[in-house]
Amino acid sequence: KAGVTQTPRYLIKTRGQQVTLSCSPISGHRSVSWYQQTPGQGLQFLFEYFSETQRNKGNFPGRFSGRQFSNSRSEMNVSTLELGDSALYLCASSSTGAGTNSPLHFGNGTRLTVT
């Protein structure tokens, strides 16, 4: 069974640009969660999608957005990039959703560097 796939692995962008990250969940998983990981803040929850609906959102500005497609693949978009957006972005899929006893299966992340 293929794991969670995130593309690209690395991205370098300039302040003010926008970026789109992609996540393909494990086959059959309908929940995809996104997290931002930085050394100072740890793993911060961005949002969770289940069957194309956003069910929960973390405390991030509106520049961070996401969507989920009918095949459960998900994308997140960050507009007007700031230096502080440099981070490892992780997505995780789950069969029943985040916040349940079902495990989150993480991808290896996209490392975003904003210069």
Partner 1 sequence: TQLLEQSPQFLSIQEGENLTVYCNSSSVFSSLQWYRQEPGEGPVLLVTVVTGGEVKKLKRLTFQFGDARKDSSLHITAAQPGDTGLYLCAPIQGAQKLVFGQGTRLTINP
- The secondary element (H helix, E strand) that includes residue 36 is strand 31-38
Residue nearer to partner 1 on the CB measure, 20 or 44: 44
> Of 33 and 74, which CB lies nearer to partner 1 in the complex structure?
33
Helical segments of the chain, H only:
none
Segment contacting partner 1 (CB under 8 A): 13-21, 65-73, 79-87, 106-114?
106-114
Please count the CA atoms within 13 angstroms of the CA of 72 that sit on its side-chain side: 20
User: Does 5 contact partner 1 by CB under 8 A?
Assistant: no
Q: Which is nearer to partner 1, 7 or 18 (CB)?
A: 7
Q: Which residues contact 18 (CB under 8 A, 6 or more apart)?
A: 77, 78, 79, 80, 81
Report the residue from 77, 80, 108, 115 that binds partner 1 according to the rule CB under 8 A. Answer: 108
Of 47, 34, 38, 33, which Cα lies nearest the Cα of 88? 38
Binding residues vs partner 1 (CB under 8 A): 4, 33, 35, 42-43, 45, 48, 50, 55-56, 58, 90, 92, 97-101, 103-109
